[in-house]
């Protein structure tokens, strides 16, 4: 029996990683992981039945193949029946494999989502938000495109927790997150740093646009309430604003700058906004011990 490949289908060559012409005249025993594997080929061909074999492909990675082989011109009817049965089996296993791969992909996407989003509100969590902010700040420096960062802190959230419990507090945070989503642009990135602290990255926004966004949020919340167990709670926030590249082009510094401005807004009576000052920006750029 010759071990040389005389004919091949393009699908076989493609599936094994060979250019179509390169398979011709190859010795298939070169791609068996062990010489003993040759006996499986010979038995399969002699008996005209299906067999599982281990084969090395172009990149030398071994794969299992379902093989059906027979001597040309011998027992054609039996051969066709065996081939038909093997085809059905391959199709069924292919379907099962595709289903398993789809389920694995869906599970992986779920894991990635949970790793990057706040479990309570569904907003970006701190690590993912900081990555987005860093990525955009690279654009700020490379393409001279402005960006604004808004730091939002709920003013009286502690009262909700103290009077109605943490479950009510969670509901309050979920509702507030929905308000943020409906207020800002789809291109803006909203995150929850933790507790009652939220941040909003506003790409392509200068000073005037950042101020307009802060005032819009304050107007929206002034008319809003969140009802929990029949009790309506007002929604009030203190806002700090920081600009890139004016105040910083580093994510950690920009967040600290906006945080400092938010604290000033809270000290000034809450329910308002403050812009980061150059003095605050310089302090945030000092080396940390």
**141, burial (CB in 10 Å: exposed 0-12, middle 13-18, buried 19+):** exposed
As a whole number of angstroms, the distance between CA 274 and CA 257 comes to 11
Q: 98 in helix, strand or coil?
A: helix
User: Which residues are known to be catalytic?
Assistant: 196
Task: Name the nearest CA neighbour of 178 among 241, 124, 123.
Answer: 123
Question: Rounded distance, CA 218 to CA 212, Å?
Answer: 10
Three-state DSSP at 131 gives helix
Contacts of 224 (CB under 8 A, 6+ apart): 179, 234, 235
Q: Are 201 and 189 in contact (CB under 8 A)?
A: yes
């Amino acid at each position: 029996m010759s071990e040389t490949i005389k004919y091949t289908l393009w699908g076989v060559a493609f599936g094994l990683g060979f250019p179509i012409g390169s398979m011709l005249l190859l010795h298939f025993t070169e791609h068996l992981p062990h010489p003993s594997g040759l006996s499986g080929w010979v038995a399969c061909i002699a008996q005209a039945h299906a067999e599982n074999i281990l084969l090395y492909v172009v990149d030398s990675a071994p794969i299992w193949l379902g093989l059906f082989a027979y001597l040309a011109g011998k027992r054609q009817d039996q051969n066709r029946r065996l081939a038909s049965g093997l085809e059905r089996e391959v199709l069924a296993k292919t379907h099962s494999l595709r289903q398993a791969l789809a389920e694995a992909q869906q599970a992986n996407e779920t894991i990635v989502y949970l790793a990057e989003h706040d479990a309570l509100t569904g907003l970006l969590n701190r690590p993912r938000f900081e990555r987005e902010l860093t990525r955009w700040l690279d654009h700020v420096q490379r393409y001279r495109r402005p960006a604004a960062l808004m730091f939002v802190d709920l003013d009286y959230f502690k009262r909700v927790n103290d009077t109605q419990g943490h479950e009510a507090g969670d509901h309050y945070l979920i509702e507030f997150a929905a308000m943020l989503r409906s207020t800002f642009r789809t291109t803006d990135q909203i995150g929850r740093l933790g507790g009652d602290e939220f941040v909003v990255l506003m790409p392509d926004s200068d000073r005037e646009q950042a101020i307009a966004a802060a005032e819009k949020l304050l107007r929206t919340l002034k008319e809003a309430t969140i009802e929990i167990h029949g009790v309506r709670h007002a929604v009030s926030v203190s806002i700090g604003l920081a600009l890139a590249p004016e105040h910083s082009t580093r994510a950690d510094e920009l967040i600290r700058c906006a945080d400092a401005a938010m604290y000033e807004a809270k000290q000034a009576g809450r329910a308002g906004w403050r812009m980061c000052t150059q003095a605050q920006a310089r302090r945030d750029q000092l080396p940390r011990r």
